[in-house]
Structure 1
């Protein structure tokens, strides 16, 4: 029994959809899906349903693309903000996945010295607050600063924070809710219990390496989580968003960027299975 992870499937792309359909059955293995399955509900449902057929358990967290509210021709106005997130939670549950609003799962694999028991798998829904920016750049100047290097983020147009006044305010609420939930979960477990923290965005700023778009960092997380891997005794922290697959280590915690990406960003001849990162 193994725990795998992937993110940024971007299933609006036909090649990526076919890659999901080509996946074999993984039997008792579990899968983490760390956000950006797709933008449209029908594509998200397709992805979760197909993955749930191939894995015993699928754990999902939203990325920014799931939260995009894009008005399409001849369709009703899209859901926005919190209302959209709640609809996504219902969709994923109905399709057979676990969400950040469900009880944390406890890893059911066999443990050994490198994998102490119990291990709590914690899907998180956190956003960003533009704090990943240089000290000389004021928050209100972030968009202008990014555009100086021809960098823009679609979230500014499509990720609506309703009913919150801003994305930063929504992020602050999610941080407060999630911090309490993690603290309560660990308090109820034996001393020494470990976690696997699952979020779409990296928990630490120095993990961001975007050589082609270095000024995209303000849309990549929040400094409020820089010590969560130690505070919540994380064995591993899983994230995507950056489309830069890599493994890093900080303070005894393994940080795994597990993106697949757009079709041009991965070798389709290898198949999707080759890009599943083994976590436990």
Structure 2
């Protein structure tokens, strides 16, 4: 199975949200990383067929998804960024409703719904109204509905938003097992999630892929650009104004700064092993404003 993104472009009223994105996706987990407004959500919506590209196309095994129509939609699972469900429905009734929309019979749907409620740890809340759910519970329900039809292509927009650390680890384990023969593409701001499970990461800025590769390949770009420096606490604000500081740790009257710089920022600075978060900050030293179109 191969999903080809072929020079995808999308414009809204003369503004370019996605500008010529090309990539080949095969079974595995892919991460999409970028600041707000980078075009991530627009790209995911085009892959799902929710938005029509201004130019370019998406192909599954060489066939445009427009030509595949319902055949493609049957292979697709999608969790939108703004998923809320239907507040007046119970979780179980909502999943049954979504299963019917996906062409499943009741006899097919009910065992799958029970399995998924257990998988996302909502088995005790299956009969509760969605309006009573916390943000994390709604997100877990959204993950369940995306998995209802056992999709070959799973598109997840900010799937771990609102999940606590334990839930995020559980979700990552679900994806690791699921992606053996499936294509999974997830967009997230939680860099550690991608660092833990993504087979390949795309860094997106201004509607384009700035770079892409495995986590280890990407981290090579940050080698020699991450430093630690311990200075008097009174100098902390001066250093933060001058340099990109990824982290700081106070210890009495001193502070240890994690500094991102192409050259050694001070004679006493010590080189550090980079993380994906460091690389993110090197590409996006200041978050772009606004939500994705």
Say whether the fold is shared (TM-score over 0.5). no
> What TM-score results when the alignment is normalised by the length of structure 2?
0.29
Query: Structure 1 or 2: larger strand share?
Result: 2
Greater Rg over alpha carbons, structure: 2
